[in-house]
A and B are shown apart, each in its own frame.
Chain A
């Protein structure tokens, strides 16, 4: 089985990329800064830290997913390093799967690093704060439910990576990046498409919007940051359904990527 070998190689290459370190460094820096920013907002410190920490994880995770995700396939085609790889006993489908698995591995490690950094900042604050201030908290500083938000961010990033990989199987790195960011933004406002008929009168436009709603990725459900920060419950059932949606979408994208990739000419 060559897929795990390709995945490990992808991971090894990406962890040496300076871009990755820069992104993780800035994410951790932002989390540390959130400690200072939190001080400015009396009584809201923990909320601000969690908000900023989770947002940093999501945003920098997105950059990692898009830039490294796209780089790994389309850069490989553009720079022709794929020639040597495909002359080995490797099926093109295995290559796509291996690349994806390696990227997911990279993401898991990076998101973990960012989550640990977030908990470290919160633990420090928790250690310094007096008992009185704690009473105003909606959720404890070291809330284990934060992991739920982190898990949903990770699953969303896995979906974004699959989108990036899909585009990079047939277009240039630049175009893939633009398209992936585009879909990411659309994905967060997708719910608006569903209710488009309330805004426009034209039936075909409403129908088209409805069709797009079902085809385009719906990323808003992955964003449970606000609920977690405010201490509202997020059920495991909801998480399982959302993860199932992601799995279905990722599976479809990977199959399409493999189909395109296995028929492609590398000129």
Chain B
């Protein structure tokens, strides 16, 4: 399958300092390939270079070295821009335009006819749940509502590739769920979604592949399934009605015990230890089982590991 987005050794230095300017490397030789039709998660802590990468892809900033392509065309190509959508981080628009006017204005930049614009704007406002506020000036919008406007404007041209910089930011739990559903629908329609986030649960729920960025460098990339070690790394047992004396008797079979409430504990058991035996002892001592679950590496563990390896001291 062809690449929707391709970067090769993409680097960006910013000049910092007031008198004596020195380069600060925000992005270091990023090589990345995003395939057509996938949801690609671009992850990293704050300041990792995610937004810089997106800005380079939108040509809001120019690379110090390296190159990038979208849909086989160099970034900045006007023809390619007709086929993409972009949501900036914490988007902001014009105070005195209404949501409807803003979207209609953006649609006009693609050369859509008035009737087509009207239909598109109505459909999108409905889709992002702000149809009721379409005649309200944007300065009266809350952060979450602006985020929804931002998502709508990114989709105004039925883009083949959608770039979303922290799309969940500013949204309430319901809004987040809607955006997740929207991203999955975009993928089902055959579009490519490239989104940056530091919220790992979003990536776990949505992405087929991810890249982890730390300190401006790519530290890991690939399918989530390949990146996470899926073997069981232990067991987590939540029990209640367990007396401290009974807990003490379990001894070294429990790797770690954390008290949740009175007589209620989370017990962590090593992977080579059969959880059934510990459970039997707990029950014999009058305890009750609340839950038993295997411990596997999460994206968060991987993330912490990768960021630690990269030596990113900025977080």
Tell me whether A and B are bound partners. yes
B86's partner among A2, A5, A87 (CB-CB below 8 A) is A87
B: interface residue count bin:
35 or more
Q: Are B153 and A83 neighbours in the complex by a CB distance under 8 Å? A: no
Q: Which residues of A contact B86 (CB under 8 A)?
A: 83-84, 87
Q: Does B230 contact A (CB under 8 A)?
A: no
Asked whether, in the complex, the Cβ of A86 is within 8 Å of the Cβ of B58, the reply is yes
Question: How many residue pairs, one in A and one in B, have C-beta atoms under 8 Å apart?
Answer: 80
CA separation between A12 and B100, bound complex, in Å? 13
Residue A91 at the chain B interface, CB threshold 8 Å: yes
B199 to A: closest C-beta gap in Å: 21
Docked complex Cα distance between A88 and B78 (Å): 8
Task: Name the interface size band of chain A.
Answer: 20 to 34
A86 touching B109 by the CB < 8 A rule? no
CA of A13 to CA of B97, assembled, Å:
6
Give the complex CA separation of A203 and B169 in angstroms: 63
Q: Report the Cα distance A267→B137, complex, angstroms.
A: 27
Cβ of A79 and Cβ of B92 under 8 Å apart? yes
Known: A12-B96, A84-B93, A87-B84. 18 other contacts (CB 8 A): A9-B94, A9-B97, A12-B97, A17-B96, A83-B60, A84-B87, A84-B154, A85-B106, A86-B60, A87-B60, A87-B85, A88-B109, A89-B78, A89-B81, A265-B60, A266-B55, A266-B60, A267-B14
Q: Chain A interface (Cβ within 8 Å of chain B)?
A: 2, 5-6, 9, 12-13, 16-17, 79-91, 263, 265-267
18 inter-chain pairs at a CB distance below 8 angstroms, sorted by A residue, are A5-B109, A12-B97, A13-B94, A13-B96, A13-B97, A16-B137, A17-B96, A80-B90, A83-B55, A84-B106, A85-B106, A85-B109, A87-B85, A89-B78, A89-B79, A89-B82, A89-B110, A266-B61
Residues of chain B having any CB pair with chain A under 8 Å: 14, 55, 58-62, 78-79, 81-82, 84-88, 90-97, 101, 105-106, 108-110, 137, 150, 153-154, 163
